[in-house]
Amino acid sequence: MANKIHILGADVANKIAAGEVVQRPASAVKELIENSLDAGARHIAIIVREAGKTLIQIVDDGEGMTAEDALAAFQRHATSKILSAEDLEEIKTLGFRGEALASIAAVAQVELKTRQSHADVGALVRIEGSEVKEQGPAATEPGTSIAVKNLFYNTPGRRNFLKTRQTELKNITDVVTRAALVFPGIGWQYVSDDEQLLDLKPKDPDGRMADLFGDRLFRALIKVEEHSEFLHMSGYIGRPDFARKSRTEQFLFINRRPVVNRALNHAVFQAYEHLLEKGSFPFYALNLELDPHRVDVNVHPSKLEVKFENESAVYRFVLSAVRKALGAHDLMPSISMNAVPSDIGLDARLRFIPPPAQTDLADVAGRAGDSADVDPDIVLRRVERRIGEEAVQRDGEATFPSDLHQTQRPAPARILPLRPMGAGAEQHPVSGQSPIWQVQNKYILSQIRSGLLIIDQHVAHERILYEKAVANFENNLPSTQQLLFPQTVQLSATDYSLAKELIPHLEKLGFDLKPFGKNTVIIEGIPADVRVGSEALILQDVLDEYRNNEHTQTMDARDNLAKSFACKAAIKAGDRLNTSEMLVLIDQLFATQMPYVCPHGRPIVVKITVEELDRRFGRT
Ligand code: ADP
Ligand code: MG
């Protein structure tokens, strides 16, 4: 029988590869820009016509090529960037597959002019549908100019699949923007149908951000800079009030390579918790640097996907870096000036006040409240410092010892001492006058320098317990109180299997549980924050809440559990608090990473400024 298999010719093979590498004009632009960057260009111009359909031209001042290389560059698997398979483990350039030029030349008419700076004369190559039409010397500037005409002229299927000109242009603009964003030191020019869309001079990162997005957005950005042993992340995140209704303003880079990564996207989103309205997405532009050994960029021909050696570690790093950056800024809603008086609290429009001059989180956290010595003045000054108000020095008072604990490691917030339910606040008379009150057994009012803070006691405690639970998961230092009389709890079959599954996590929270069979568990110890006597109820509540969360959101199990626990173990509206309990609560709250929203997204603190009160009473 005759054999049936034959090897495809280079032109067919290149066309097939082009299907993956060059899906649309924007992907050709991306590949060509990457080549210019890899060639060490300091200035890159991008010129397109009809959204890249008739012309894409990239001109750079990079290292250029010899005449032989200029021809070889169009061969499939022709690259100067890697030599061996081992090199794939350690890719430092943006390109490495050696197929972009071959693919583009298979589906377009390409003219390449290039010259190395020391060479007297440059080289020209003209190639159409993988066929070399012309080659020879050329008079040209040092660097490389490549013109791609009539993309997909010989693949009508592809051409017909292109979206509207507007959409294709937007895709190209997006590619150029991303590159300009993460390479601020390079000059960029971008021209579409003779209209100059971008003309960016080399700048520092801040300057480039401002040039790209305008001063207004730039001022709404929070800078992020975070190191760990293996990772370095830098960039910008948007203040929550600058969130958008779509994800288009989310820029993620790994070693300055634009990537799409759902997990890290989720990590950023998660860090905002519910600072964002439903359906809105934060602005971010973040570049993550890590050893190329630890990330595989050879996942897909488009190079937009990466695989991490340890994705969950990277996830946690991004989550905590973004959370920290957000927490270091005052995102506290304050009652808006134009709210109708009777609507205070209901109609309070969230207004984000500028960041504090200097907030040292570690310093604040290091002094997380100690119930033994709660001096209202000290506590309230910590709060003021945390939210960026200078501590006021009143007559006859010692200055707050600001450097007292600065060298201490941040400690997880201590436990709020809770009295058995029903005990009255009168038991703890506080000498003198404290600028702190409980209202309706629900809210804590406290005077600070700039006005009045109103704190929702339940969500405040929820935030404290949540961060403590998360810290326990990470550090493995739960505080358990052993029960004198272990409690037997009968659960439903589903709850029983859920509890069994969650036991390792519950233990980290401080529960000491033993499955006893027949849908029964024995509670031998409970977290230090849980009131003795309510343990069975709290366990049941936590399981319920866990299951609710599981359906509505995709959270990882530990985070879910931390939230459920915090919600159920926290003091409730209606619980009476005495002054020192309130002070401890406030102190611990402002030692958390994010004192302004609870893990479910409700606001914790509202501020009314003196100016606002003055305005309402016509004192302005
Ligand atoms: P890759 O970038 O994966 O190596 P390409 O097909 O994109 O593959 O390019 C092939 C080779 O052509 C590159 O390895 C590089 O040596 C050379 N080259 C392409 N574009 C340029 C450029 N703008 N300046 C200098 N050399 C270039
Ligand atoms: Mg390339």
Dump pLDDT digits (tens) for 124-157: 999 999 999 999 999 999 999 999 999 999 998 8
Q: 375 C-alpha vs ligand 2 centroid, how far in Å?
A: 64
Pocket of ligand 1, candidates 79, 82, 92: which has the most ligand atoms within 8 Å of its Cβ, to mutate?
79
Q: What pLDDT, on the 0 to 100 scale, is given for residue 555?
A: 58
**Quick one: angle between helices 557-569 and 493-509, nearest 10?**
90
pLDDT of residue 373: 54
Pocket of ligand 1 (CB under 6 A): 31, 35-36, 39, 60, 62-65, 73, 78-81, 95-102, 144
Q: Which residue segments constitute the domains of the chain, with CATH numbers given?
A: 10-201 (3.30.565.10), 207-327 (3.30.230.10), 346-395+426-620 (3.30.1540.20)
The residue nearest atom 23 of ligand 1, judged by CA position, is 36
For ligand 2, a single-atom ion, the residues with CB < 5 A are: 35, 95, 100
What's the 212 CA to ligand 2 centre distance in angstroms? 25
User: Which range is least confidently modeled, 80-84, 170-174, 599-603, 605-609?
Assistant: 599-603
Q: Counting atoms of ligand 1 from 1, which one is nearest the CA of 34?
A: 2
The DSSP string of 406-440 is: TTSPP--------PPTT--GGGS--SS--SEEEET
Sheet containing 122-128: give its strands across: 131-138, 122-128, 109-115, 143-149, 55-60, 43-49, 187-192, 195-200
Do 112 and 148 form a contact (C-beta atoms < 8 A)?
Answer: no
The CA 152 to ligand 1 mean position distance, Å, reads: 21
Inform me whether the pLDDT recorded for 331 exceeds 80: no
When mean pLDDT is compared over 56-65, 149-158, 415-424, 566-575, the highest value belongs to 56-65
Nearest to 257 by CA among 1, 57, 98, 31: 31
> Which pLDDT belongs to residue 411?
39
Q: Between residues 11 and 205, which one has the greater pLDDT?
A: 205
- pLDDT confidence of residue 553: 55
Q: Which helix or strand (DSSP H or E) is residue 380 part of?
A: helix 376-386
Answer yes or no: are the C-beta atoms of 30 and 175 closer than 8 Å: yes
Give the separation between CA 171 and CA 182, rounded to whole angstroms.
Answer: 17
Residue 331 CA to ligand 1 centre (angstroms): 47
Q: Which residue has the higher pLDDT, 154 or 530?
A: 154
Determine the pLDDT at residue 337.
39
Name the residue of 20, 27, 31, 35 whose CB sits within 8 Å of the most ligand 1 atoms, as the mutation to test its pocket: 35
Neighbouring residues of 550: CB distance < 8 A, sequence distance ≥ 6: 560
Residue type, 22: V
* pLDDT averaged over every residue in the chain: 82
CA nearest ligand 1 atom 17, residue:
73
Asked whether 55 and 48 are in contact (CB, 8 A), the reply is: yes
3-state helix, strand, coil in the chain (%, to 5): 40, 20, 40
Number of the ligand closest to the Cα of 69: 1
Among 21, 38, 81, name the best residue to mutate to test ligand 1's pocket (greatest count of ligand atoms within 8 A of Cβ).
Answer: 38
CA-closest candidate to residue 234, choices 317, 305, 167: 317
Confidence of residue 497 (pLDDT cuts 50, 70, 90): confident
User: Per DSSP, what are the bridge partners of residue 397?
Assistant: none
Atom of ligand 1 nearest to the CA of 97: 3
Q: Give the model's confidence band at 417: pLDDT under 50 very low, under 70 low, under 90 confident, else very high.
A: very low
Reported as a single tens digit per residue, the pLDDT across 285-323 is: 999 999 999 999 888 888 888 999 999 899 999 999 998
CB 184 within 8 A of CB 202: yes
Q: Measured in angstroms, how far is the CA atom of residue 195 from the centroid of ligand 2?
A: 27
* Eight-class DSSP state of 331: -
Cβ-contact 564, 545 below 8 angstroms: yes
- Say how many Å lie between the CA of residue 40 and the centre of ligand 1: 11
Query: Positive or negative CA dihedral for 342, 346, 347, 351?
Result: positive
Residue nearest to atom 7 of ligand 1 (CA): 100
CA 311–ligand 1 middle distance (angstroms):
30
- How far is Cα 10 from Cα 30, in angstroms, rounded to an integer? 23
Higher pLDDT, 551 or 580: 580
298 CA from centroid of ligand 1 (Å): 17
Range with top average pLDDT, 102-106, 246-250, 302-306, 469-473: 102-106
The reported pLDDT for the residue numbered 363 is: 31
Atom 19 in ligand 1: residue holding the nearest Cα: 35
What is the pLDDT averaged over residues 6-25?
86
Measured from the CA of 31, which atom of ligand 1 is nearest? 7
CA of 188 to the centre of ligand 2 (A): 18
* One-letter amino acid of 49: R
**For the CA of 101, the nearest atom of ligand 1:** 6
Give 368 or 586, the one with higher predicted confidence.
Answer: 586
Q: What is the gyration radius of the CA atoms in the chain, in angstroms?
A: 31
